Amino acid sequence: MVERASFEITGREDFSEVTYSLVVHHPLMAKAANPGQFVIVMSHEAGERIPLTIADFDRHEGTVTLVVQAVGKTTREMQQTCKVGTRLYALVGPMGLPSRIGHAKKVVCAGGGLGVAPVFPQARGFKESGAYVIGVLGFRSKNLIFWSDKFSACCDELIICTDDGSAGIKGFVSDGIKRAIERHTGIDEVVAIGPPMMMKACVETTRPHAIKTIVSLNPIMVDGTGMCGGCRVKLGNEVKFACVDGPDFDGHKVDFADLTTRLRRYTEQEKLALQRWSDTCRMKEPLVSGGRNVAATPPHPPATELLELPDPFEDVRGG
Ligand SMILES: Cc1cc2nc3c(=O)[nH]c(=O)nc-3n(C[C@H](O)[C@H](O)[C@H](O)COP(=O)(O)OP(=O)(O)OC[C@H]3O[C@@H](n4cnc5c(N)ncnc54)[C@H](O)[C@@H]3O)c2cc1C
Ligand code: FES
């Protein structure tokens, strides 16, 4: 009998009611990973395959870190089942083209909400290449801030923005980018990652200044190998597949309206899948996380609340 590899979860932290990180032991993946790449995960044998960005990797420890937002059936299910000591059934990757770190001398790395996590390896990569790195992190509110310590360690400047003004400047990620542009000449590149509306706002902020702006696109993916065409995105007149041609693209060329329309295509089916899962889910007890932040882990909400999850398209956090 051939024994399958499986990937132990060695760490977990809950940042909010809906956002959590998983540290997964996978030395080969950690060795091969580069900023900007992603993995496709199956949490159990019958589970859906979902793409998640490699938000951090530690070649010495042999781990990769994923940061997940519970927006639907699978991410909600993983929030309950993926505890320290459990194993992911499958982890494929690293997938996608690595981000081009290049020779930029001054860069802005901007993340909104969950987008803060995938922009981290790029900020660190730019710092390691000798660039002056300005981090711009946007959250709805102070209590949702995460990883500001990790960014402080690799950024020369850090601008925190909150929608409600409870920390840093009151405003969106695009306001933070505006501030960086006002204060600095010679910004070579902006990297902006977050919900489509946030990335669009960032792109419109840099366009008048002709600053190269890279965004990371997250269309619905199926195979992740360029075969199914599910992840097609439009850049001007060109069509690209985010899984093999991206996920990083020139933000000034991206057709964000098309991206949003395609992302909403299966909304009804996704609601049904979540409803079916919540109806049959027997794990109604509070989540007992093996992570560091157990005390902050909220109890599992009743099934009736399960449909009130964050909307991945809402134009807060930078829009
Ligand atoms: C390259 C890439 C990197 C990503 N990185 C992260 C990450 O680091 N953390 C994170 O929380 N999420 C990430 N996502 C989004 C994540 O894959 C979806 O949130 C997840 O698949 C939703 O599954 P669900 O069953 O929980 O929700 P569903 O109810 O099925 O979907 C909720 C929404 O998520 C999107 N989605 C659904 N299925 C897919 C799919 N197969 N591929 C892409 N998007 C989908 C749709 O827009 C949908 O409306 C990434 C997506 C891509 C393409
Ligand atoms: S996910 Fe199938 S082509 Fe990209």
- The domains of the chain are located at 7-95+267-305, 106-216
**CA–CA distance, 78 with 8 (Å, rounded to integer):** 14
The per-residue pLDDT for 261 is 81
Ligand 2 binding site (Cβ under 6 Å of any ligand atom): 221-224, 226-231, 241, 243
User: Which listed ligand is nearest to 265 at the C-alpha?
Assistant: 1
The per-residue pLDDT for 4 is 60
Residue 228 alpha carbon, nearest atom of ligand 2: 2
The CATH code for residues 7-95+267-305 is 2.40.30.10
Residue 49 alpha carbon, nearest atom of ligand 1: 41
The per-residue pLDDT for 267 is 66
pTM above 0.95, yes or no: no
The per-residue pLDDT for 96 is 96
The per-residue pLDDT for 280 is 72
Tokens of 201: 């706002």
Ligand 1 binding site (Cβ under 6 Å of any ligand atom): 38, 48, 50-53, 67-69, 71-75, 114, 118, 218-221, 247, 263, 267, 270, 274, 312
In the chain, DSSP finds a helix count (H) and a strand count (E) of: 9, 17
Name which CATH class applies to 106-216: alpha beta
**CA–CA distance, 201 with 316 (Å, rounded to integer):** 11
Ramachandran assignment for 210, one of left (phi > 0), alpha (psi -120 to 50 degrees), beta (any other): left
Residue 96 alpha carbon, nearest atom of ligand 1: 1
- pLDDT tens string, the chain, 319 residues long: the values are 555 667 999 999 999 989 999 999 999 999 999 999 999 999 998 888 999 999 999 999 999 999 999 988 899 999 999 999 999 999 999 999 999 998 899 999 999 989 999 999 999 999 999 999 999 999 999 999 999 999 999 999 999 999 999 999 999 999 999 999 999 999 999 999 999 999 999 999 999 999 999 999 998 888 888 988 888 999 988 999 999 999 999 999 999 988 888 766 666 666 666 677 677 765 544 443 333 333 333 444 443 344 444 444 444 333 3
220 C-alpha to ligand 2 centroid (Å)? 8
Ramachandran assignment for 204, one of left (phi > 0), alpha (psi -120 to 50 degrees), beta (any other): alpha
**CA–CA distance, 205 with 175 (Å, rounded to integer):** 8
The per-residue pLDDT for 249 is 96
Sequence letter at residue 149? D
Q: Residue 105: which of 227, 212, 24, 247 has the closest Cα?
A: 212
